Structure 1
């Protein structure tokens, strides 16, 4: 028998970015000022996750399948911000010299981006007072700067795909992709109130 508490439709979502050395909030604690919110996201497209693994089938004489190798794991997440703000420009054009006003204005130079820029990234979905977070344990990089759309019938948006890089293996050989939490917003890591 299934458990409906394990299934969710999320009412809201946010993406945050921060420097690689930023502190990851414990449990449902608030993000510190070192985390920038990407802003309004395309809710219809949502946040999509893709996993790529290279496989190769190995056969013995006579065409008998003996084994399959699985190598080169890659995890990406794609989202579409609606806003032109500092966090979005930090993702699309890292190293830019653009300043942003509180009233939606901006001015400055868009430089050739640093394509090797690294950052921490956090994905948060919310419904009521329940949140679900996945925060990069190591770092992320923009893997693809997709199309930017500006037209007369819909909000301007950009497609951003980030690759999540795991930590170095620990003494048990485990590499961590994400720190994750699902529970009450503002709750400490141990779930107590």
Structure 2
């Protein structure tokens, strides 16, 4: 059988956390518990899981003769769902935001922070996705109460990214497998003006395994001299003669590549 079975995940346990204040600090890492300001939603429906949908408008452009030459993508939207089973103050605040113990008002959802945590106890891995910007949570479907079934309410969180980064960041990702180092290959690169070259970012984890994180959403690319060489998603473009240091940062670790443009 091809493949590495140790990389197959069975997420046997999970939690959903929310924070009313967008200033609530994130845990330092996946091995650190959620602190003050974070509230656990409670029991979840494991069969429903944490489904995530991504929508965007795509336009394709074709040359005379029918060959595709360009595509544009706009209006990206990410939605993540969770089905809650508990009736507690946290879930009621999500289902009926703005209401009190004595009055239910027309819901007006407000921006909050959300965190989804899944755990594979056999592999000893914790994986978290925490909103980098904020989320707007609404009820997806009916709120049903009857005598034969557990009350199940599906909540849909529309993810608003942190637009202060480029590209905009949807989530902060945490995993219990720490990143020990990050290496860029090649370590040096020569380009001519207008030429585009690629760099691969490889992370070495605490268990000595490696992972290509070149295109990972959490990998941040930067150039010390964008006027000489710019970088995006690991692709470097020679802009003008000179030198620049390309840096990639992933999960707290960085690697560099020295670029010369002639």
**TM-score, normalising length: structure 2:** 0.61
Give SS of 1:159's match.
strand
Which one scores higher on RCO, CA 8 angstroms, separation ≥ 6? Answer: 1
Contact residue 114 and residue 134 of structure 2 kept, 8 A: yes
Q: Which residue of 2 aligns with 1:84?
A: 87
1:15-36 Cα shifts (integer Å, max 9, x gaps): 0000211100011200012101
Q: Which residue of 2 aligns with 1:104?
A: none
Matches within 5 A, 1:161-176: 161-170=156-165, 173-176=166-169
Instruction: Return the alpha-carbon distance in structure 1 between the equivalents of residues 3 and 170 of structure 2.
Output: 27
Q: Which residue of 1 aligns with 2:187?
A: none
Matches within 5 A, 1:60-71: 60-71=63-74
Contact residue 45 and residue 80 of structure 1 kept, 8 A: yes
1:39-78 Cα shifts (integer Å, max 9, x gaps): 1111111110111121112234454433221111111111
Q: Which runs of 5+ in 1 are unaligned?
A: 99-107
Root-mean-square deviation over aligned CA pairs = 2.2
Instruction: Return the alpha-carbon distance in structure 1 between the equivalents of residues 130 and 17 of structure 2.
Output: 9
How far 1:182 sits from its partner (Å)? 1.8
1:167-193 Cα shifts (integer Å, max 9, x gaps): 1233xx232111111217xxx89798x
Matches within 5 A, 1:93-172: 93-98=96-101, 108-115=102-109, 117-128=110-121, 129-170=124-165
1:137-161 Cα shifts (integer Å, max 9, x gaps): 1111125532223233321111111
Q: Which residue of 1 aligns with 2:15?
A: 14
Contact residue 79 and residue 158 of structure 2 kept, 8 A: yes
Give SS of 1:109's match.
coil
- Out of 28-37 and 63-72, give the one that drifted further: 63-72
**TM-score, normalising length: structure 1:** 0.82
Give SS of 1:146's match.
coil
Instruction: Return the alpha-carbon distance in structure 2 between the equivalents of residues 144 and 73 of structure 1.
Output: 21
Instruction: Return the alpha-carbon distance in structure 2 between the equivalents of residues 40 and 144 of structure 1.
Output: 17
Q: Which residue of 2 aligns with 1:101?
A: none
Q: Which runs of 5+ in 2 are unaligned?
A: 181-204, 207-262
